[in-house]
Amino acid sequence: MSMGRRIAVGLGVLLATVLLLVGGLWLVQRELVYVPSPGPVPPAASALAEARDVTLTTADGLALGAWWVPARGERREVTVLVANGNAGDRADRSRLAAALADRGLDVLLFDYRGFGGNPGSPGEEGLATDARAARDHLVRDRGVAPQRLLYLGESMGSAVVARLATEAPVAGMVLRSPFVDLASVGELVYPFLPVRALLADRFPVTEMVARARVPTTVVLGGSDRTIPPAQSRAVAAAAGGEVVEVPGADHDDAVLAHGPAVVGAVVALADRLG
């Protein structure tokens, strides 16, 4: 075989390998993005004595599990809707809910489709539908006034609530470790792939917060190795919001999950409501 022929064959094999790799990643991309717990989630009262199990019904007919956690002590008459990140389930957020409830805030924890034993498969549009069901439950069924409602989004959950804030009134948002958009995170993990062209789900956080224009606080970890702090700061800038940095904190550290910076940011927004 001539040298030119060998080079052509080698390039053909390389191209086929790349195409197979890209095609395989495209097919399984949602399995890489979403990391749900298989469920089931234990009863609410087993984690928080005052909490109650709630079922949310989505516009496309899914029944989703949720926990209602009432405020303890002196109530601020403010409700917090918590949108989880891309992993785990509402039981993992019980300490966050307890900390918020201890500060006089009512809390709704819920799981997306495909998470915590819920039916369905997660995707950007599905998560948006699930968040609408959670908000509808609070406003329609529990009588929460939008001007007394706050959103708390965790990582990917920041994208979920940012979109929700563009659709209906809300008093404010706390976004914990938000990214600019999903592709900006994917490009860090797969710098050798055309991630932006391949992704089915976009989650354009900066675009959404700029449209929403509601009071926003961004809480970030100074040593976050999953979402670079610069991306979270860019989200805050797009929202015209404030930044609270937790020095030395990484993405999954407990201090970011339910520590005083996150809880304090929510309380500070609640106190502005009077």
Q: At what angle do helices 156-167 and 205-212 cross, to 10 degrees?
A: 30
Asked whether residue 130 carries a pLDDT value surpassing 90, the answer given is yes
Which residue reads 């976050």 in tokens?
A: 224
Residue 29 has pLDDT above 90, yes or no: no
In degrees, rounded to 5, the angle at the alpha carbon of residue 28 between the alpha carbons of residues 22 and 30 is 120
What share of the chain has pLDDT > 90, as a percent?
80
Contact 9, 15 (CB under 8 A): no
- Give the confidence band of 230 by pLDDT, cuts at 50, 70, 90: very high
Look over the chain and give the mean of its residue pLDDT values, rounded to a whole number: 90
Which helix (H) or strand (E) segment holds residue 217: the answer is strand 216-221
Whether the per-residue pLDDT at 40 is higher than 80: the answer is yes
Neighbours of 132 (CB within 10 A): 18
Q: What is the pLDDT of residues 41-84, one digit of tens each?
A: 999 999 999 999 999 999 999 999 999 999 998 899 999 999 99
User: In terms of DSSP H, where are the helices of 137-213?
Assistant: 156-167, 182-189, 195-198, 205-212
Tell which residue, 176, 128, 111, has the closest CA to residue 150.
176
Amino acid identity, residue 166? T
The C-alpha atoms of residue 200 and residue 29 are separated, in whole angstroms, by: 8
Helix (H) or strand (E) holding 60: none
Q: Among 11-20, 45-54, 188-197, 245-254, which is the least confidently predicted range?
A: 11-20
Give the other-Cβ count within 10 Å of 184's Cβ: 19
Distance CA 31, CA 227 (A): 19
Q: How far apart are CA 69 and CA 106, in angstroms?
A: 6
Higher pLDDT, 38 or 89: 89
CB atoms within 10 A of CB 32: 12
